[in-house]
Amino acid sequence: MVQKADTVGARIRYWRMRRGGMSQAVLAGLAGVSQPYVSQIESGRKTIDRRSTLVSFAAALQVTVADLLGQGTEPGDPAREGAAECVPAIWSALIEIEDGERRPSTRTADQLTADLARSDQLRNLCNYPAMARMLPDLLLESAAVSSTVLAQAAYQAATCLRHLGYRHLALNAARVAVSAAEEAEHPAWIGAARFAYVQSLPIESASLAARAAGRSLVELQNDAADERVRQMLGQLHLSAALTSTVDGRVDVARDHLAEATREAASLGDPADGGGFNGCGFGPTNVDLWKMSIAAEQGEMGRVIELSRTVRPQLLAATNRQMSYWLDLGRAFADTGRRDAEALGAFVQAERAAPVPFALNPLARDAVVTLAHRARRRAVSDDLRLLAGRMGIRLAA
């Protein structure tokens, strides 16, 4: 029915068998879930909706969450493969910059400004393969000009690499961004770079990520008169709220979310839909993060309820629009009774940001689950077409 070799459930089964043929019951005990749940995950009848559950499975199997998600490791997707060709050059550029080497600039200031703007436009459009092709030269040219410009380019590199699944390299880029922003003594870019650092940490490091966000919040308070800094403080509160939720510290998450909500109400949504560095901080973005946090808590009914008052089209970043539709689709699918609405939401998510949707392993698993549930009836043409665009092959 469905070729499942690249699903999270199939990888869990692969690693379970690699661990001496560990039984589903033993894995369930180690991960703190039930054996029937493991069976449903491995067969593709159910998806993993919570990051904390992925962490538990990875720890039980002695692998990384990235191993279970197949991030940055699996061939077959044209978008990822096209970007992968550029990754060694991006890595080399980051190493050169970290080692303190600086090449002479070959571009005028206007040319570099235009290139940064083009890369940022591609980021907002989630065209990460095209971004990846620009980044090696853009990083080296930015390093030759100024620390502030380098902070911007390295931030873009961290975002691009993280979404392509190269989280370890995204962390390198984020560290370059933090160092450059601190050298420039630019509080807003320090906030943005530290947000990129928190976002780039692996899911297993949720506790560390929450603490890192908390430290940044304290250190940037003296510069909070700057609206750009306030936007980044809000983003750091949101990141701390989600990572604290993954870490099981619900009370801490609630406090951070309350602070982000208060700050957003004061600032309002950015008039251009982006705000400083395109972060989009404001009430709409806060509501989108609330949906993600509710999903992490397993409150799918709450996700659907929140969705009714959110207008993601107010934000310029298409990945935020995709996040809305993906969370909503997964919430519909979780009910087991609203698969048609789930499919409609997934189609909207793909329309908003085709590349990151196709690369998102949780989106792929959700589509596989819909196909499994449909097999007793018939897989609809719309579901078959969506699966095909994602590289998921369904049997005729």
Domain assignment present for 307? no
**In this structure, what is the dihedral angle of CA atoms 125, 129, 134, 137, given to the nearest 10 degrees?**
140
Considering the chain, what is the average pLDDT of its residues? 90
Indicate whether 196 and 76 sit together in one domain. Answer: yes
How many structural domains compose the chain? Answer: 4
Same domain for 211 and 195: no
247-277 pLDDT tens trace: 999 999 999 999 999 999 999 999 999 999 9
The DSSP code sequence of 167-183 is HHHHHHHHHHHHHHHHH
Residue 265 burial by Cβ neighbours in a 10 Å radius (0-12, 13-18, 19+): exposed
87/180 same-domain check: yes
Helix 8-18 × helix 361-374 angle, to 10°? 100
Render pLDDT for 345-372 as a digit per residue (tens, 0 to 9): 999 999 999 888 988 888 888 888 888 8
Read off the pLDDT of each residue in 91-100 and give the average, rounded to a whole number. Answer: 95
Same-domain check for residues 251 and 148 = no
| Of the candidate ranges 46-50, 157-161, 327-331, the one whose mean pLDDT is the lowest | 46-50
Q: Do 99 and 161 fall into the same domain?
A: yes
Q: What is the pLDDT of residues 153-173, one digit of tens each?
A: 999 999 999 988 899 999 999
Looking at the DSSP bridge assignments, the partners of residue 2 are: 394
Residues 80 and 188 in one domain: yes
Domain boundary at 145, 169, 200, which? 200
Joined tokens for residue 11: 């990888």
**141 and 171 both lie in a single domain:** yes
In a domain, 363, yes or no: yes
* Distances, alpha carbon 368 to alpha carbons 237, 292, 381, in Å: 34, 21, 14
Query: Among 339, 342, 360, 345, which Cα is nearest to 312's?
Result: 345
Give the domain extent around 352: 317-396
pLDDT value at residue 21: 86
- pTM as predicted: 0.90
